[in-house]
Amino acid sequence: MTRRNTIATYGLDDCPSQAVWLEPTEWLGAPAAKHYPLHLRSDQSAQRLHSQLDHSPYSRAGKVAGREPVHLNPDDAAARGISDGDVVELFNDRGRCLAGAIVTADIMPGVARLATGAWFDMEGGLEKYGNPNALTLDRGASGFSQGCAAQSCLVEVRRYDAPVTAYVLPAGISA
> What sections of the chain are H helices per DSSP?
3-9, 57-61, 74-79
Q: Quick: pLDDT tens for 29-55.
A: 888 788 999 999 998 888 887 788 788
The answer for residues whose C-beta is within 8 angstroms of residue 160's C-beta and 6 or more apart is 86, 87, 88, 89, 98
Q: Is the pLDDT of residue 143 over 90?
A: no
Please report which residue ranges of 24-123 form alpha helices under DSSP H: 57-61, 74-79
Q: Which CATH number goes with the domain that contains 95?
A: 2.40.40.20
Q: Is residue 145 part of a domain?
A: yes
Please report whether residue 22 resides in a domain: no
Q: Look at residue 173 and give its three-state secondary structure.
A: coil
Q: How far apart are alpha carbons 74 and 105 in whole angstroms?
A: 6
SS3 34: helix
Give the total number of structural domains in the chain.
1
Residue 44 is part of which domain span? 38-159
Judge whether 119 and 55 are in contact, CB under 8 Å: yes
Find the helix or strand (DSSP H, E) in which 99 lies.
strand 96-103
What are the pLDDT digits (tens) for 89-140? 999 999 999 999 999 999 999 999 999 888 888 999 999 999 999 998 877 7
pTM of the model: 0.85
Instruction: DSSP letter for 148, please.
Output: B
Residue 12 lies in a domain: no
In a domain, 26, yes or no: no
Q: Would residue 23 count as lying in a domain?
A: no
d(CA 51, CA 61): 15
Is 100 inside a domain boundary?
yes
pLDDT at residue 24 is higher than 60:
yes
45 within a domain of the structure (yes/no): yes
Q: Is there a domain that residue 173 lies in?
A: no
